[in-house]
Amino acid sequence: MLNEFRTFIIRGNMIDLAVGIVIGAAFTTVVNSFVTDILMPPVGLLLGGVDFSNLFITMRGGPYASLAAAKAAGAPTWNYGLFINSLINLVIVGFALFVVVRAVNQLRGPAPVAAATTKDCPACAMPIPLRARRCPHCTTEIT
Per residue in 123-138, pLDDT (tens digit) is 999 999 999 999 999 9
CATH number of 2-112: 1.10.1200.120
CB atoms within 10 A of CB 56: 19
Round the average pLDDT of the chain to a whole number and report it.
87
Query: Is the model's pLDDT at 77 over the cut of 70?
Result: yes
Q: How far is CA 104 from the centre of its chain?
A: 14
Q: Which pLDDT belongs to residue 56?
A: 92
Q: How far is CA 67 from the centre of its chain?
A: 31
